[in-house]
Structure formats: structure tokens, C-alpha cells
A and B are shown apart, each in its own frame.
Chain A
Amino acid sequence: MSEHEHGLPSVDARGVKRVLWIFYAALAVFIAIDVVWFGPDWLSNLGQDTHHVESAYADPAHADPAHAAPDTEEHWPNAEDSPQDQPQHPVGHTAETRTDQASFGGHKHGHYAFEKVPAFHALYGFAGFVFLVLAARVLRLFVMKDEDYYGDDAPLDAEQHAEDGHA
């Protein structure tokens, strides 16, 4: 797949390298923001955070009423998707989130504790992407067929009528 196989240099090699360097630098910067800016915050909260969140969750007064369309409320009990034993349940968090946004962040916020792990999103994106591509390669073994598999280009003759019937 790479350019060497075909012997055709595509975008010239120096250009590619330059783009890649910019890209690596950007990635580093954004991870650095996470680590340097939010890191200490996360470390210092490691011990207490869970407790804080749980208490907020237990207190229904924190729930943000603005977020529920009044007429449909009863239709969405958080059945299986949000098990009750998840300490990260966010309802109590939303009020805090709003104030954060207004002040354009001094410390990292998020709905879940795992989001506060430094570089979580970069790692999740990397892992997810690799999984996606490798899984797709496996999928290819099962679903990839010849280009003319369905024979859709064949001329329409009497056979077509039979197809109509089945469709």
C-alpha cells in the first residue's frame, strides 16, 4: 500500500515528513495541556473524587430540571444503559458543568471520572481506531466478494421480470 510498492512518489517525501512533524507537535501540545494543566488537579482529587460524586448523585435536588422535556419525562427511565451502580452518574454533575463552561475552565471537567485521566481521549481514539481497522480486516474475510458478484450490470431481459417478482 505504501508508496514504495508502486514506485510512484505521491506527495513528495519532504512534504509528508513536514506534515507529520506538525501533526506530532500538535498531538504533543494537546496531551501536554492535559497533563500539565489538568494533571495536578486530577492527582489531588484522586482520593476524594468518587466520594464527592456519589454524594452529589444521592442528592436529587441537584438534578437539573431544565434538561427534561416535561411531557415526555416518564418515557425514559434510565433502564439498562445507566446501571444504578455506576458511581459516575452525572445528574448531580450538570450544575457544576455549567459553571465551568461559563468561566472557560480552570480545571478539566467531564461527566465521568475516566474522562479526567490525562490523555484519555487520545488513548481511546488510538485504541479505537486500531481496533476498528483490524476488525474491519477480519470482516473483509467474510463479506468481500468479487466486484461483479450480484451481476447488476447484466442486460435486463426476461430474467428481470423474475427478479421483480421476487423483490
Chain B
Amino acid sequence: MPGNPSGTLPPRTATRRAAGPAPGRRGASGSAPRRRGNGLFVLASLLPALVLFAVFMVVPTLNVFRMSFYTWSGFSPDMRFVGLDNFTALLDDAQFVRAFQNTVALLVVVTVVTMGTGLFLAAVMTRQRLRGRSLYRFVLYVPSVLSVVVIAAIFSAVFDQENGLINGTLQALSLDGLRQVWLGDQDLVLWSVAIAMVWQSLGYYMVLYMAGMASIPEDVYEASALDGASPVRQFFAITLPLIWQNLRTTLTFFVMSAVNLSFVLVRAMTGGGPDGSSEVLLSYMYKQAYTNSSYGYGMAIGVVIFAFSFLVSLLVSRATRREPLQF
């Protein structure tokens, strides 16, 4: 043994060898069967979840990718492989481009407005001693527990051309010139849907941010106030960094949920009209796959949606990554 010319082991090592493996360490001969047993148990425990995940997530997702290379009506047994033809057809489809533009517009505007307003309201409700704070919180949270179809019905009534809340109020205020056909005007219809989306999501995210802000110790704010920090400074220097992980997660989720929510609201409020001007990617995919009997083409749109949502979520996650702060 190098460094030990006598060939004898130091006393501590010799004792350890004589007594067998040290506690907490596994010898080469004794640990192998134990580890294999643990592995089998872990595998058996995970198997039901893995099977469910494979059957309900992996296989359908792979099937969407596979079907995008076929032309199929959705009902007949005739299914023909067409390669990338469905994707090249998308390039010449103006309605697809419009749906894509509407999806991007809703994603950007609704995310910015919902996140910005949610953060602002949460900060005001947490830091300011407002009277009736619980009532405001309740009122703002109620839309989150309503079904999206109910919200669509509410906003269809609010935006009604003749007796709707908005046009009725404008008429009562003698502002007839400002009355609009909110769900019938091609320039306005998407923003009417966006208002409904913001109304539906705002309370949920506000409550999430309030929960994050409530966990920040009060003495951090007191110390900063003694140093002369204004409420705005406190928000950007204390509140925002300390709820950043919360904000990051909600932002990533919201990107995906906005795409899904836009489909349900568009479907229930406008059906994609007038003349396809409020169509979004998911509603257009649904229309092609299940109404137009172009299942393969619909799945090609699904692949584009998947790639777009995945990419945006990944970029948001990367752009907002930072070390979590401990407090």
C-alpha cells in the first residue's frame, strides 16, 4: 500500500474491515439484492400512473402528430398518407393565418392586462387597509368559479346590441354615437372576447398573488419604510422579487390556459364569427376536424398549436428564471 511500507492497515481502517461495512454504507455483496428489491417496488408503485400517462397523454399526442400526415374525413375507413401536404396547405390558408393572428393578439393583450391588473389589485388589497377588502376580493374572485359557458352567456347579454348593459348605459347617458355592435363588428369582436377572458381570469390570479404577498414578513416592509422607501419602491424592491417564483409559474401556465380559454369563449360567444374574424387556432382546428370532415388537416393545425404553445411557454420560463429568494 502506498505510504504504508509495513503493509498493515491503520487501526481505524482495520477495525472497520473487521466489523464489516460501516453504518450507512452498503457493501458490494449485501446491497445489490436490496437495491433491486427497492427498484421493483418503485416500479410497481409507478406503473399505474405511468400506464395512465401513456394511454391518456403520450399515445393521443403521438396520434395527433401521426394523423397530421394523413387525409381522413374522420368517419370513413379510407385514410390516405399525404406526407406534409396538410402543412403546405396551411401556408395558403388565409383563415388559418387570421386565426393564428387572433390567437397571438389575445395571448399578448389578455396576458399583459390580466397579469398587470392582477398584480396591481393584489398589491393594493394586501398593502392598503381598504374598507370592504373581503367584499372586493369575493366580487373579483366569483367569475373564476363560474363556468366559462355561463360567462359567455353573461357577456353575450352585456354586449347585446339593443338591450345590452353597455349599449343600454350609453343610450341612458345620451351617448348614442358610442353605441357599437360589439359582437357583430369585425374590428371589435375579438376585443369583446378579450374583455370576457380578462374578467374570467383576473380574480383567480389576483388571489394567487395575494396569497404570495401575504407570506412576506411585515418587518421587511417596516424596515424599508424606515429607510424612506415609497409604496411603489417597496413593490418593485420587495414584493415583486419575493413573489417572483409565484409570478413565473402563473405566467407560464397562463400562456397555455389563455389558448384554451379563448377557444371556449369564442365557441360559446361568437362561433368564430362574424365571417371568421374572431376565429382562434383551437376553434379553427375544431371546425376543420369535426365540422369540415378534414381530420388530418385539423391535426396539422393541432401540431402548430402544440409547437407554438410549447415554444412560448419555454421562452417565458427561460426569460423569467432566477434563483429563489429565501425569507
A binds B: no
